[in-house]
Structure 1
């Protein structure tokens, strides 16, 4: 990791090198949080740890800037834990292994955590610096953003003093975000029953892998394969033709990551094994043709396993495969107001079987509440038809764009002054925490910026080194341009 600390800007990259040594999947931020608290107190900075786990660190204004409007720089501490199948890695214990590949920083076989580690490190580097000009400053580091926005939900009113909030969780240099999608989690559960496997049968595990996956918001429009949907499609088509008996089904690990892998146990008459092998080969060729541009690495693997004694009943199998095959997934509607931005989407993220039932976890996102409600209605109708139960939880609001935002105008004008070109003002199809912050702090003026991060929420995640420097330069220049308090 030594090569990271030589990158520019050094203060930011040195911090990133440090945080890579701390495991920080959602719900496991405690060790990193304690390290930051100890460091901040050694620096004589004021530190507040909220009951939910958020950190608020205050730094006085630099001389001559005491009368500027107070600013909050905000990031989340946690990261998405995703790894390649051949990578041995425990996200609760093992450090991330970053490396430099030309213009990009990547991780070896896992997510990198640039989402939102770069933003967090920029805030910490500013706290550490003695020569960066800024007014009264607060750094807000939230917890559990990726798995439920627990920190943003738990942020208490009356604690922050800032009038301006700069969110650092955007992922495209040259774009300024002033709005985001809201969302809601959906969990469908279906009871399962079982019966003895047929005699003279063999058991196999069918796995789909090699897909790119990615962020279920910002990558959902790219047309990548969803492993859960693609596996269900094959099983639905072939179960009657080949007399397949389903043993189990599991796929995906997070409701906000497009699933890259899924597998199912199947039992089949010995006389049909050759037909199954041919069907798998044909389906792999079909998928590689269909996804030749969006997801060319798709792969199917059929492996014989010890014979099973028990399979799902035909009724349970048909219900499950019909549910998965019919469940909506991907882009539901593109925005009419913001060209090129997804308005409403759904990600069928996780399928798991425990205690004689299957659970299907989905994440619905929409820029408008009516779009979110429409998809929830679809899921409710589907559950009714399939004999399943659906529960919705964790609903969070979108961040409504404010075209008259003063801080957005400052960031736009500052960017144009530095780079001599207009930035793109955007609304992102992802769940930035700003929408939740508006509840306890309705009058706070907010904007979101960040460097270019590709393929977040997947082991292909990478951050562009040049754009980290551009983001850093923009952030420092904006802090200098914050106006005085009225």
Structure 2
């Protein structure tokens, strides 16, 4: 952590080191929130924790900037808790082991939390400075962004005075975001009918590991393997011929992360074991050929395990395997308006086996409501055909682009002046909270910026050190250029 605290800009990195030291996965942000509140009150700043747990911290303008428009800098308190299977780490108790690796900061076997810890650190560093020039300032730190946007849903009218919001949750230096996708959770439920295993069978765990995973919005177009879909494909191709019986299927851990790992507990007749081993080896070789460019560390393994007390009935297994195999996943449509940007996507994020059912949790994203609604309709039809149930929940709106945004124009011009090159104005295929803020604050002018973060939502997450400095310089320069109130 001492190495982090010495990086440029020091105030930001010192705060990020503190953030890494305090566990703050989604649903467990209270310790970090209390630390920030105590620090802010000690600084004499106005602090409010709203009824859902969001923090609003207010700081007066510096001398000579009192008549500028009020700005709110916004970030989220929580981080995605993802780790490699061989990493021993409790995200509710253990600090993030961040370290410098060449031009990047990354973590030891876990997500880093640069999403959105760098943005949060920048806001807190500005609050703590007596030298940075700015008008009246508010900092909004929301809870639970990564697991349902509970905090953003809870922001109420009248809590903020700002006319301008700068969201810090973007992940590419040199890009200015003026819009984002909306989304909705889709959860299938397949009834679990159980029976005793057949005589003369042996139990095995079939595991798929080593995939890159990543953010289900930012990385969905890269063609990475989805561990849930790939294991479902194996079962669809081999379960009948090899007389496999499934006792459990579990994969992924977050609906908004591409699943890196999945496993199936199954039984196989002794006479089919050699054939199963051969099919596993051939399937692994096939996947390594198909996904050579994007998943070089892919591994499919078969290990003997204790015989389960029960396995799925033939009908329940057929329903599950066929539903998983046919369910759409990945990019559904690219945008016609914005080159290279995904319009609509679906991520089969989590599969979990319970006593009475197998749950399949997906996340639909789309830049347009009709795109999201089309996928909802497709999944409803799939559930009907399969004899399963599907429920939709947690829908959140997209952030409609405003090409005439005054603050976007300021950020755009400021970037050109500092770096003597054109930034890229973008819409992101991910769920920023700006769309939800538009409901209580429809007139608020918004923009989103950030440093370059690679592989968010996965244990390979890293943030580029140089771009953190560039993001910081841009943010401070924009604050100086905020116009006076009309």
TM-score by length of 2: 1.00
Aligned-pair CA distance for 1:353: 1.1
Q: Deviations over 1:331-385 (max 9, x none)?
A: 0000000000000000000000112201000000000000000000011001101
> What are the ranges of 5 or more consecutive residues in structure 1 without an aligned counterpart?
none
- Are 2:411 and 1:411 equivalent residues in the alignment? yes
1:235 equivalent to 2:271? Answer: no
Question: Which residue in the other structure is 1:348 paired with?
Answer: 348
Q: CA deviation at 1:465?
A: 0.0
Structure 1 counterpart of 2:304: 304
Moved over 6 A (4+): none
Residues in 2 aligned to 1:98 and 1:254: alpha-carbon distance in whole angstroms: 22
Distance, in Å, in 2 between the alignment partners of 1:335 and 1:369 is 13
- Residues 108-147 of structure 1 mapped to structure 2, 5 A cutoff: 108-147=108-147
Q: Distance in 1 between matches of 2:356 and 2:393?
A: 23
SS at match of 1:409: helix
Counterpart Cα distance in 1 of 2:331 and 2:149: 23
> C-alpha separation between the residues in 2 aligned to 1:85 and 1:196?
30
Q: Does 1:394 align with 2:394?
A: yes
Secondary structure of the corresponding residue to residue 323 of structure 1: helix
Whole-angstrom CA distance in 1 between matches of 2:198 and 2:178: 59
**1:197 is matched with which residue?**
197
Q: Secondary structure at the match of 2:146?
A: helix
Task: Report the equivalent of 2:17.
Answer: 17
Distance in structure 1 (CA, Å) of the matches to 2:309 and 2:418: 68
> What is the CA distance between 1:329 and its match in structure 2?
0.3
Where does residue 338 of structure 2 map in the other structure? 338
Q: What does 1:149-168 correspond to in 2, within 5 Å?
A: 149-168=149-168
Question: How much does 1:308 deviate?
Answer: 2.7
Cα-Cα RMSD: 0.5
Q: Could you give the per-residue CA deviations for residues 78-134 of structure 1, whole angstroms, max 9, x where no partner exists?
A: 000000000000000000000000000000000000000000000000000000000
Are 1:328 and 2:328 matched, yes or no? yes
Query: Aligned partners of 2:309, 2:421: CA distance in 1, in Å?
Result: 67
What aligned pairs does 1:239-250 form with structure 2 within 5 A after superposition?
Answer: 239-250=239-250
Instruction: Tell me whether 333-342 or 294-303 shows the greater mean CA deviation.
Output: 294-303
SS in 1 for 2:2: coil
Q: 1:281 aligns to what?
A: 281
Hey, what does 1:269 align to over in structure 2? 269
Deviations 1:24-82 (A, max 9, x none): 01010000000100100000000011000000000000000000000000000000000
Unmatched 5+ stretches in structure 2: none
Superposition deviation, residue 295 in structure 1: 1.3
Rounded Cα–Cα distance in structure 1 between residues aligned with 2:227 and 2:199: 30
Name 2:385's counterpart in structure 1: 385
Once the two structures are superposed, residues 445-468 of structure 1 have per-residue CA deviations (whole angstroms, 9 ceiling, x without a partner) of: 000000000000000000000000
Question: What is the SS of the residue equivalent to 1:148?
Answer: coil
Displacement of 1:307 in angstroms is: 2.1
Partner of 2:359, secondary structure, is strand
Report SS of the residue matched to 2:427: strand
The alpha carbon displacement at 1:194 in A equals 1.1
CA distance in 1, matches of 2:439, 2:355: 39
**TM-score relative to the length of structure 1:** 1.00
Correspondence for 2:48 = 48
Find the aligned partners of 1:27 and 1:311 in 2 and give their Cα distance: 34
Report the Cα distance in structure 1 between the residues aligned to 2:2 and 2:279, rounded to whole angstroms: 49
